[in-house]
Amino acid sequence: MLIDVDRIPEEGLKISKDFEFFSVDIVEESTVFLKPVHVEATVKKIGEELLIKGQITAMLNFMCCRCLTPFEFPVDSKFDLVCLPEELEVAKEHLEQDDMNGLFYCKRQVDLKEVIMEQLNLTFPLRPLCSKGCQGICPVCGKLIKEGKCSCTAKESGQRLENLKIFLRDKS
Ligand SMILES: [Zn+2]
Ligand SMILES: [Zn+2]
């Protein structure tokens, strides 16, 4: 969604929109979007500066990096950004120094979808976990380890595959 910088009304531009993203757009490629990403935002222009403010709500499905169980990950995140014309090199340096949430637009246009995608990526965990205390999967029996214990009795590694099959069957 391209926003024409010169066509933003004085009172600001109000946006209420669903965006369709795909897993390839984001950092975590195993992630699934369970519904469209909803954005409520206002874009205001003050001089050459654009102030983009709003809220992203989304529902995603991540895969736990320890136990490989998919889990739902709701996003409800506010953002508040300043967007400057790319030509303003001076402003760029200034922004970097202040470590602000700075963005740049070029050719008098802002791609809001790109802005949203970037904000969305910032809300994602580096190592997605289904729960804080997730113990992952037992390397012997392939079952989820709960409360730090494993109920596995199989000592032979040949048993491992069989148990993994049971684990998968029980899950489905
Ligand atoms: Zn887990
Ligand atoms: Zn085990």
Instruction: Please tell me the number of the ligand nearest to residue 69's CA.
Output: 1
Name residues with Cβ closer than 5 Å to ligand 2, which is an ion: 138, 140-141, 150, 152
Report DSSP letters for 59-88, one per residue: EEEEE-TTT--EEEEEEEEEEEEEEEETT-
> Among all ligands shown, which has an atom nearest to the Cα of 145?
2
**pTM greater than 0.85:** no
At residue 121, the pLDDT reads 87
Ranges of residues in the chain with a pLDDT under 50 are 99, 154-157
Parse the chain into domains and list their residue ranges. Answer: 2-123, 135-172
Tell me, in angstroms, the distance from the centre of ligand 1 to residue 127's CA.
11
pLDDT at 154: 42
pLDDT at 9 (0 to 100): 93
Distance in angstroms (rounded) separating the CA atoms of residues 28 and 100 = 25
Rg, C-alpha atoms of the chain? 23
pLDDT averaged over the chain? Answer: 83
Q: What pLDDT was estimated at residue 97?
A: 53
pLDDT at 74: 95
- Distance (angstroms) between ligand 2 centre and the Cα of 157 equals 11
